[in-house]
Amino acid sequence: MTESRVALITGSSSGIGASIARRLSAEGIRVVVNSAHSEQAGKALVAELPDAVYVQGDVSDAEDARRIVRTAVEAFGRLDVLVNNAGTTRFIPLDDLEGADAEAWRAIFDVNVIGAWQMATAAVPHLRKSGAGSIVNVSSVSATRALGSSIPYAVSKAALNHMTRLLASQLGPDVRVNAVAPGLIDTPWYEGAEAVWESSREWITDNTPLRRVGTGEDVAEAALYLVNAAYTTGDVLTVDGGRHVV
């Protein structure tokens, strides 16, 4: 019997990452759950899944990134899929230029851009061995539109989109690299910013063709498609209920 694939999903103890972990697991893919801090939640998710392990680690730390990948390979003997979902933001109004100071830029880029790069470079040798390696980066519609939780966040996701295309151009045919770009998704992301969430939810519901905000499961379905789409690389798949067409 062919050994089932292994997927490492960063930042997957809750929200979109947890939804992706559950969806890939439901397809028979063995899953490595990761988080920087919420170890209890990560282990609880692993307990739900039939063949999964948890590894704590901060993707923005180079040694942690290497250790996360190493632990995944030690646990299952292979690595076929990397989902770069770990991300962070600061809720800073787009017109508050002083609020988006250098510290905020560094904190966001350390995770959203450098963290994704470090995970990819650590994982690529193992993904090449897979014979059908796949990287899926979790981006955002704010990468291409003048919106988002802050300017540093939106710019970090634009950088991630371009990283996706550059890596795709260099890693084929051994490894495919794609991204999924969610719109407004109902996750714990907005804890502490409930007023922003409620106003955003109302606006999206009124102005999006599908008349609702997204769920983690919506993003997970798109991620699964990209994991399996054997003739797709360098793509950024928008998951925003059609908002980008109006």
Q: Domain 6-239 carries which CATH code?
A: 3.40.50.720
- Average pLDDT (204-229) is 93
CB 151 within 8 A of CB 174: no
Its pTM stands at 0.94
> What rounded mean pLDDT belongs to the chain?
94
CB 189 within 8 A of CB 182: no
- Average pLDDT (96-119) is 97
Q: Which residues pair with 135 in a beta bridge?
A: 82, 177
Rounded-to-integer distance, Cα 222 and Cα 226, Å:
6
Reduced to 3 DSSP states, what percent helix, strand and coil does the chain have, rounded to the nearest 5? 50, 15, 35
- The residue with tokens 């063949």 is 51
For the chain, give every domain's residue range. Answer: 6-239
Rounded-to-integer distance, Cα 193 and Cα 195, Å:
6
Min mean pLDDT across 14-23, 114-123, 186-195 is at: 186-195
Nearest by Cα to 16 from 135, 140, 196, 101: 140
Res 82 pLDDT > 90? yes
Active site (catalytic) residues: 153
Rounded-to-integer distance, Cα 30 and Cα 8, Å:
9
Rounded-to-integer distance, Cα 188 and Cα 62, Å:
26
Res 1 pLDDT > 60? no
- Average pLDDT (219-230) is 98
Q: Which two tokens stand for residue 234?
A: 């360098």
Res 112 pLDDT > 80? yes
Q: What is the pLDDT of residues 150-168, one digit of tens each?
A: 999 999 999 999 999 999 9
Which pLDDT belongs to residue 196? 65
